[in-house]
Amino acid sequence: MIPGILSDMERKRRSHEFDFYVLLFFVLAIAGWLWEVALFLFTEHAFINRGVYRGPYLPVYGVGGLLLCFLLRSLRRKPFRVFGISLLLCSALEYLTSFFLERRWGIRWWDYSGHFLNINGRICLVGAVIFGLGGTALVCLFLPFYERLYQRIPKKWRTALCIVLLLAFTADAAYCAMRPNMGEGISSG
């Protein structure tokens, strides 16, 4: 093999089809929603549909997870490096998302003002550490499992699932662009 040129098998192993990333996005967005709902269930003793959308997903978790997947997959065997980079990247994404949402609708969906080492109430140290741990678990543990599971699902079922999820998400996004999910425990507005 010529140096710098990937074999077909190695290229196939490193690249994935579009549906791989669509499904991964939704797995991570739904996992993020479950995490936040569980967190509020335990701390506030109430079920609260967190986020801007009505559906059971938080796109910031899906986007963050895909970002980590693209950038850190090659560091899978270096968990301390993955932790540090995940901490920084996810904190930056959370800060920018908070900034955008507040500019767009004039309200906040989260506020860490009372937390230790927060920056403008948009991010805080505890959240950053949790994102670092979550990113490490994602890159070093979950992605290899997900890749094996993905290969076991027939292509036609993956495609059908992607179409259903994308249609539902698009309809939800269009609706929530005009009427975002707000209220007690969800946002400050």
Please give the pLDDT value at position 116: 94
> What is the rounded distance in angstroms from the CA atom of residue 43 to the CA atom of residue 65?
25
* DSSP letter (8 states) at residue 74: G
Please give the pLDDT value at position 2: 47
Does residue 183 fall inside a structural domain? Answer: no
pTM: 0.85
Please give the pLDDT value at position 105: 83
Does residue 166 fall inside a structural domain? Answer: yes
Query: What sign results for the dihedral spanned by CA atoms 122, 127, 133, 138?
Result: negative
Helices (H), 15-115: 18-44, 59-72, 79-105
Domain residues for the domain of 27 are 19-178
Does residue 189 fall inside a structural domain? Answer: no
Does residue 52 fall inside a structural domain? Answer: yes
Does residue 37 fall inside a structural domain? Answer: yes
Quick one: 71 exposed, middle or buried, by C-beta within 10 A (0-12, 13-18, 19+)? middle
Does residue 185 fall inside a structural domain? Answer: no
The residues, ordered by sequence, that sit 6+ positions from 55 with a Cβ below 8 Å of its Cβ are 168, 169, 172
Low-confidence ranges of the chain (pLDDT < 70): 1-15, 187-189
Please give the pLDDT value at position 15: 58
> What is the rounded distance in angstroms from the CA atom of residue 86 to the CA atom of residue 135?
5
Does residue 64 fall inside a structural domain? Answer: yes
Structural domain count of the chain: 1
Kindly state the tokens that stand for 2: 């010529």
Q: Where is 171: in which H helix or E strand? A: helix 155-178
Does residue 35 fall inside a structural domain? Answer: yes
